[in-house]
Amino acid sequence: MKGNTKKKLGLLLFLMVFTVSFGQDNGKFKVVLDAGHGGKDYGAMYNGFIEKNIALDVTLRVGKILEKESDIQVIYTRKTDVFIELKERPKIANKADANLFVSIHCNAETKKTAHGAETFIMGLTKNSSNLEVAKMENAVWELEDDKTSYAGFDPNKPESLLKFQLMQEEYRGESFAAAVKVQHGLAKDLKRNDRGVKDAPFWVLHGVAMPGILIELGFLSYKNEGEYLNSEKGKSELAEAVAKGIIEFKKENFTPLSSISGYVKPAETTTPKTETPKETQKEAPVAQTAKNGAVFKVQIAAGSSDLATTPSNFKGLNNISKEKDGKVVKYYYGEVSDYNEAQNLLSEAKAKGYRDAFVVAFKNGKKISVNEALKGK
C-alpha cells in the first residue's frame, strides 16, 4: 500500500470512530467491575494461591465500598465463581453504557522474582514483559467453545489486535488518568513495589466503548506477595486502594448535569386527550455565566492523530480548538462564557454526529469542573 493511501485510510478510520472520551450524564457514574477468570478458568496458580478466587474477592470488596457512594452505580461481570467468556465482558459494560471499566487480576511469572502492582491500558507495545502479561490474560480465549468471534486473533500474537487499536484511542486520556489514580493507591499509598502504568493489547479492553483499565494486583508467583494478596488484610487494603482511585477519578472527570448549580430537571407533563393544549410562550433560560474569567467549550473528540482544525475535518463545524494531553489530542468546539450557550453548542455538535460530546470548563487555560466555573471557586 502506498504511503499516501495509508495516510488517507488511517484518517478515514480515525474519523469513523472519532467521538468523545466520555462526559456528563443525568444519572450516576457507572463502573463495571470485572473479576478476572472464573469457573473452569483458574488463572494463575502458585503456592496454593488461585487468581480467580482472589480477583473475585477483591472485586466484591471494591464494589461494596463504591456502593456506599450515592452517585456511583456498580455493575459486575461476575459475582460468583462462574466462567464468563472474554468477549462477553466488554459487552456487559457497553450494554450498561458505563463510564469506566475496571478488570481485576493477579500476576505471575516463572522466575518467581517479580513483585509489585501494575495497571494497564489498551495499547500496542514491543515490551516483552508487557506482552507476556497480555498473552497470559488473553489466553482465556482458548477455553471457549465458540472461537468464531475472535476471527483473526491469536492470543500468542497480540499484534493481531492492531486493527482494533483505534477503537480505544479516543478513551486513552481518560483510561490513563484512571490507571494513574488506581496505581498510586496500590503502590505509593500501600508502600509496595510500583511497576507503573503500562500499555498492552488486552482483548477485554479493546472492546469497551469507554475508558478501561486492567489491574494486576501483584504476583502470586512471589510467595511473600502471594500470601499478602491471599490474606484478609491484603485483600481489604487492595480493595480500598482501588476504590479510592476510582472515586478520585470520578470526582475529577465526571460532572452529572443534576449536580450543576441552577440545573433543574425538566418536569414530565401529560396533556389530557380531551383537551387541546394551549400555546405557551417559552421562558428565556436564566443566564448561567461562568465566574472569574472561566469559559465553556464542547469536547467533541480525542485521539492520537493531530488534525488541522479546519471545518472539513470536523463535519463542517467552525471554531475548533485543540490541546495535547500527553499522547492524546483533544478537540473542542466553541468557547462561550454562558452555560446555556454552551448547551446550544453541544446540541449542534450532537446534531453533526458527535453524539457523545460534552461540555467542559477552563480557567486560565486549565481544565476545571463545570460546577467550579459556575460557582467561581
Domain boundaries, the chain: 29-256, 294-375
pLDDT digits (tens, 9 = 90+) for 262-308: 434 433 333 344 444 444 444 445 556 767 788 889 888 776 677 88
CB-neighbour burial class of residue 217 (10 A; exposed 0-12, middle 13-18, buried 19+): buried
The CATH number of 294-375, from 3.30.70, 2.40.50, 3.40.1000, 1.10.10, is 3.30.70
Residue 196: what pLDDT? Answer: 92
Q: Residue 139 pLDDT more than 50?
A: no
| The most confident of 168-177, 295-304, 333-342, 350-359, by mean pLDDT | 333-342
Cell numbers describing residue 21: 472520551
The dihedral of CA 219, 223, 224, 229: what is its sign?
positive
Q: What is the CATH number of domain 29-256?
A: 3.40.630.40
For residues 346 and 289, is the Cβ–Cβ distance under 8 A? Answer: no
- 3 state SS of 320: strand
The chain-wide mean pLDDT, for the chain, equals: 77
Q: Which one is predicted more confidently, 375 or 73?
A: 73
Q: Do 29-256 and 294-375 fold alike per CATH?
A: no
Residue 226 to residue 220: CA distance in whole angstroms = 4
Residue 52: what pLDDT? Answer: 96
